[in-house]
Amino acid sequence: MAQGKIQGINGNMVSVAFEGRVSLNEVGYISVGEKDSARRLKAEVIRIRGELAQLQVFEPTKGLKIGGNVEFTDELLAVELGPGLLTQIYDGLQNPLPELAEAAGQFLERGVYLDPLPRDRQWDFMPQAVEGDRVSGGDTIGTVPEGAFQHRIMVPFGIDAECEVISVAKAGRYTVTEEIAEIREAKSGKVHKLSMMFTWPVKRPITKYAERLRPTKPMVTKVRLVDTFFPVALGGTYCIPGPFGAGKTVLQQITSRHAEVDVVIIAACGERAGEVVETLVEFPELTDPRTGRSLMERTIIICNTSSMPVAAREASVYTGVTLAEYFRQMGLNVLLLADSTSRWAQAMREMSGRLEEIPGEEAFPAYLESNIAAFYERAGVVRLKTGEIGSVTIGGSVSPAGGNFEEPVTQATLKVVGAFHGLSRERSDARKFPAIHPIESWSKYEGIVPATKRDYANRILHRGFEVDAMMKVVGEEGTSMPDYIIYEKGELIDTAYIQQNSFHPVDASVSPKRQNYVFDLLLHCLLTKFDFSDKDEARQYFNKLRMLLLDMNAAPWEDDSPGAEFTKLESEVRELVGAKGQGYQADAEEILEARA
């Protein structure tokens, strides 16, 4: 292993003169002080110039001195993969934070690194491979139960050669470090002893699958505005930019709770500490609506707040996506929520400045777009060698200063994601939640509602916004009755369907079947022609209709079918529309009969 001496210190970037062989992204440990050489700070090589390596340190660099010792490990920055990942709360370097706090006390000490996976816990191993089987990286040796899943014990992804299974441990209880199998490479004869855990570099995508597929199946979030108007596909990507206080964190939390995925990974890559604490406190207390057990049993939280060193923000992003790819290799659907990628981009800008690189727009590095694209490209749907399908869906929130969507991080993200859920300060101030702006947002994916129906409602919504803007100039009296009815229909969509109460026991989570049912009823109202004597009559009529639909949102469905209260309110809506309606418009039947 190479050794080095500190030649320069600039914030959390350290320049090291080294002897030997050093690789990009290699991990090095920097000794703190002359006497306390046992305390070492973890760092990563980010640039090599001749015999000078520049490292970003994942801890505060106070106490480092010129001439200090640096030891390179000949290993890339990596994470441990194996049973015990679920329910964990890690920092950006995969240190288990509860155990770290227990070991160090209230204030975490520098240079303390713990094992990510518990070494003393025993798992019930059940072998699947037998002696003589041919295997390679990513193939399953056996399984262990972990929560609601069968965690697959796989051949380490770094073994590309075809191997023969020499032996497999019998069914029983083992720790992650005990040997459970032995395999031999067919050509070279090299023997590998396998345990239930192995490591993988975080900046190297896991590609041990047969085929990469196009994301087509919707990821149901049970948020009406998302599933109906701006859907996200399983294996797709989306971003949630918005100003502070617009509801990004709440939207991500309800998505992680109700989305129809198997595993949720939350990477708080530089979010404010207060919001992270809220997540840490609430998630263990939440019940998973899918299993009835604790939501944490299928969740991993990577906690790297804005008060932590900037280099650790980058590590947390890559740690999160590597863990997501690992569970995808088990045929699971994984949702990775990164909050917020703006902090990660700011960390890149800070490090780029210390490297004295030529700055790009707003002093961000010139490679900002390529790094963001490379991160989101690790999402996707894959067909495994076994024929099973797994997916990683990535949703990243962006915190542009002042809600300016034209800034570089937001624009770089928009170029690579498949859906854009732009949060609006105006809507959040008006308490219209979720505050996703229905005009500025978009999606390239197909949702749970047929496109013909959704597009018609979108046209009404857009036209209603246009009439509203016009009315602010010419007044209500300067607006024609047909335009005013369009405005009221647009308000009906916005208030009675798009807005949703995240804290209501019924309205917080709306099944696809219910969304389609209610949306068809809403279309019945939108497609009906009305004739009013004046705008006061129209206003009172639509107010009554709006209140009935809002009451329906709070009415329960029993066994995914309309309950008595819901059915009663639906009858009242149809009677109200029938009493004043003048029949359907010309293309109504074609729209109503559209199928997904």
Task: Please report, in range form, the residues annotated as the binding site for ATP.
Answer: 242-249
| Length in residues, the chain | 596
Q: Is residue 108 domain-resident?
A: no
Under a CB-based contact definition with an 8 Å cutoff, are residues 115 and 93 in contact?
A: no
Query: To which residue do tokens 């080294």 refer?
Result: 18
Q: Using the 3D structure, point to which of 443, 464, 488 is the last residue of a domain.
A: 443
The residue among 88, 84, 82 whose CA lies nearest residue 199 is 82
Task: Identify whether residues 492 and 535 lie together within a single domain.
Answer: yes
| Confidence (pLDDT) at 215 | 97
| Confidence (pLDDT) at 285 | 78
| Confidence (pLDDT) at 273 | 66
Q: What is the CA radius of gyration of the chain?
A: 28
In angstroms, the CA 507 to CA 332 distance is: 28
| Confidence (pLDDT) at 36 | 46
Residue 529: which CATH number? 1.10.1140.10
Task: Identify whether residues 262 and 377 lie together within a single domain.
Answer: yes
Tell me which residue range forms the domain holding 177: 123-196
Q: Is residue 217 domain-resident?
A: yes
| Confidence (pLDDT) at 307 | 66
Query: To which residue do tokens 């679920």 refer?
Result: 86
Task: Identify whether residues 254 and 152 lie together within a single domain.
Answer: no
Residue 62: which CATH number? 2.40.10.170
Query: To which residue do tokens 């900002």 refer?
Result: 368
Q: Is residue 527 domain-resident?
A: yes
Under a CB-based contact definition with an 8 Å cutoff, are residues 518 and 497 in contact?
A: yes
| Confidence (pLDDT) at 313 | 83
Task: Please report, in range form, the residues annotated as the binding site.
Answer: 242-249
Could you give the number of structural domains in the chain? Answer: 4
In angstroms, the CA 220 to CA 237 distance is: 14
User: What pTM value is reported for the model?
Assistant: 0.94
How many Cβ atoms sit within 10 Å of the Cβ of residue 360?
A: 15
| Confidence (pLDDT) at 402 | 79
Q: Is residue 548 domain-resident?
A: yes
SS3 of residue 253 by DSSP: helix
Under a CB-based contact definition with an 8 Å cutoff, are residues 439 and 280 in contact?
A: no
The residue among 194, 192, 166 whose CA lies nearest residue 180 is 194
pLDDT, tens digit only, all 596 positions of the chain: 899 999 999 989 999 999 999 999 999 999 986 554 568 999 999 999 999 999 999 988 888 999 999 999 999 999 999 999 999 999 889 999 888 888 777 677 888 899 999 999 999 999 999 999 999 999 999 999 998 899 999 999 999 999 999 999 999 999 999 999 999 999 999 999 999 999 999 999 999 999 999 999 999 999 999 999 999 999 999 999 998 888 888 898 899 999 999 999 999 887 666 677 777 777 777 888 777 888 899 999 998 876 677 778 889 999 999 999 999 999 999 999 998 899 899 989 999 999 999 999 999 999 999 999 999 999 999 999 999 999 999 999 998 987 889 999 999 999 999 999 999 999 999 999 999 999 999 999 999 999 999 999 999 999 999 999 999 999 988 999 999 999 999 999 999 999 999 889 999 999 999 999 999 999 999 999 999 999 999 999 999 999 999 999 999 988 778 999 999 999 999 999 999 888 888 778 888 887 65
The residue among 300, 263, 298, 310 whose CA lies nearest residue 280 is 300
Task: Report strand pairing: 69-76 vs 40-49.
Answer: unpaired
Helix, strand, coil percent content, the chain, rounded in steps of 5: 35, 25, 40
| Confidence (pLDDT) at 362 | 93
Phi/psi for 414 (5° steps) reads: -65, -25
Task: Identify whether residues 497 and 540 lie together within a single domain.
Answer: yes
Copy the structure tokens of residue 242: 């918005």
